[in-house]
Amino acid sequence: MTAPAPKTIEFFFDLSSPWTCLAFNNIRSLLADCEVTIRWRPFLVGGVHNQVNASFVQSRATEMTSPKWLHSGRSLMDWAAYSGVTLNFPSKHHPLRSVHAMRVCCQLEHDQAALEGFASAAFAAYFTDMRNLDDPAELIAIAAACGLDGEALAAGTQQQSCKDHLRTNTEEAVARGAFGSPSIFVPTATGERLYFGNDQLPLVKWAIQTL
C-alpha cells in the first residue's frame, strides 16, 4: 500500500514577534514524528494588524502595565525558558520595523532551506543578541553568515517585485483569516484550519494527525 503523502502546513511569520520566535524554534521538534512538510511564508504582521487587528496596536500602546499584559510578559519568559530559547526582550530596538527583514525573507521563499536558515539566524540576532534588524548592514551580515549574498539581498529589498511579494503574502494571509503572527494553516478534509501562536502548537499537531 502506498503511504499517504505528507501534509503541507503553512507557517506565516514576521521576525519582529517574540511568540513567533518561540513557535519557530518549537514546531520542528513537536512535529518530528508527523508526516508533514512546513512551508515558511514571510509576511508583514504590521500590515495584518492595520487591516484586521488595530485594537492590538492600540492596547500595546496604552495597556502595557495592565494585569493582562504583565501576565503575558511573564508567560512569554516562562515559555522561553521551557523552550530553551534565550530571549533578551524587549531590547532598545523594540518595536521593530521589520519591513526590510521580511523583504529579505521574501527573496528566499523559493528556497525553503535557505529561508529557514536565515530566519533562524535572524531570530537569534534580534531576540538573543539584541541586534537591529531594521539596519541593512545587520541584515547583510546575518545573511552572509548563512552563506548567502547579503549585499544582493539588501539591494533586492528595494525592487518593486520584492515589495509586491511581501504585500501579496500579507494580503493572502488576511484573506484566509490571519490576524497576527505566527499564523499556521493546516489542511483538512474540508478545507483548512488556522492556528495562531506558540501556545496552539499542540493543536497544530492534533489537527495534522486527526483532521
Cα angle vertex 5, ends 10, 182, to 5°? 10
Helices (H), the chain: 18-30, 45-52, 54-62, 67-83, 99-108, 112-123, 136-145, 150-156, 160-175, 201-210
Tally of residues, the chain? 211
Indicate whether 55 belongs to any domain.
Answer: yes
Q: With respect to residue 45, please indicate whether it lies within any of the assigned structural domains.
A: yes
The stretches in the chain having pLDDT less than 50 are 1
- The helix/strand/coil state of 187 is strand
Residue 155 lies in a domain: yes
Task: Enter the C-alpha cell of residue 81.
Answer: 525558558
pLDDT at 65: 72
pLDDT of residue 67: 82
The confidence score (pLDDT) of residue 46 equals: 95
Please identify which residue in the block is written with the cell numbers 532598545: 92
Residue 6 neighbours by CB under 8 Å, 6+ apart: 35, 36, 37
Instruction: Give pLDDT, residue 60.
Output: 57
Q: Are 200 and 79 in contact (CB under 8 A)?
A: no
113 Cβ partners below 8 Å, 6+ apart? none
Cα–Cα distance between 72 and 46 in angstroms, integer?
20
pTM above 0.75, yes or no: yes
Give the pLDDT confidence score for residue 66 in this predicted structure: 79
- Residue 2 inside a domain? The answer is no
CATH code of 97's domain: 3.40.30.10
d(CA 44, CA 47): 5
| CA distances (Å), origin 107, targets 57, 110, 111, 140, 152 | 28, 7, 9, 13, 10
190 within domain boundaries:
yes
How many domains, the chain?
1
Q: Residue 160 belongs to what domain range?
A: 7-210
